[in-house]
Amino acid sequence: MTTQIALSPPAGPARAPYPAQLVEQTRLPDGTPVTIRPIRASDLLLEREFVVGLSPHTRYQRLLSGRRLLPGELRRLTDIDYARELALVALAQQDGREQLLGVARYVRDDETEPESCDFAIVVADRWQGHGLGEMLLRRLQQAARADGIRVVGGITLSTNVAMIALARKLGFRAQRDPGDATVTVLRWAADEVSRAVPPAGDIPAIGAVAHADLWHGVSH
């Protein structure tokens, strides 16, 4: 999937405290224990390793280009203002050390539409198809709604059928961009009760979604 989100630093001196209430110990459907929690500035090296380890295909779906992130952009993705944005990471002990398996994030976009945000999600290639993308996106929706967000939007490549399937499963509307058929626009509105988030379940692997500065795309 691919969803762009702005990487410019937020204005204002004060930042919201770390949302510790979102820290969760859980398991994937295959039994793998994982920790889901908001990202921290100290996760920079984990984030760098995660991004470097993505395959060219997953990176392209996430960034909508083949470019690599610059060090300043990686820092921006980990050192965030929780009043404006949220990034949920999934972590697990693998090969004797902690590794980042996936991340889902949103950035508020109230200037474009009140009570709205742009979102992005990407899952490491090794962990695609294990239900992690659904787990992260479902919790991101819940956190956004608790933060007063009513609309969650993003974009993905129209060929990213797994991401589109996951988004639809979780209540998003998917529509081809009228100006670019290669891109599909994803939109979830909290007041559309007929598309309420369904119970948890598993789904095949997905790509990445990004929106104007979320690190670019949406990928599962």
Q: Given pLDDT bands bounded at 50, 70 and 90, which one contains residue 191?
A: confident
pLDDT digits (tens, 9 = 90+) for 34-48: 999 999 999 999 999
How much of the chain, in percent, has pLDDT values that exceed 70? 79
pLDDT digits (tens, 9 = 90+) for 117-132: 999 999 999 999 999 9
Burial class (CB in 10 A: 0-12, 13-18, 19+), 33: exposed
More confident residue, 109 or 220: 109
Contact (CB, 8 A) for 96 and 66: no
Q: Given pLDDT bands bounded at 50, 70 and 90, which one contains residue 13?
A: low
| 2-6+22-219: CATH number | 3.40.630.30
Residue-level pLDDT at 60: 79
Residue-level pLDDT at 59: 82
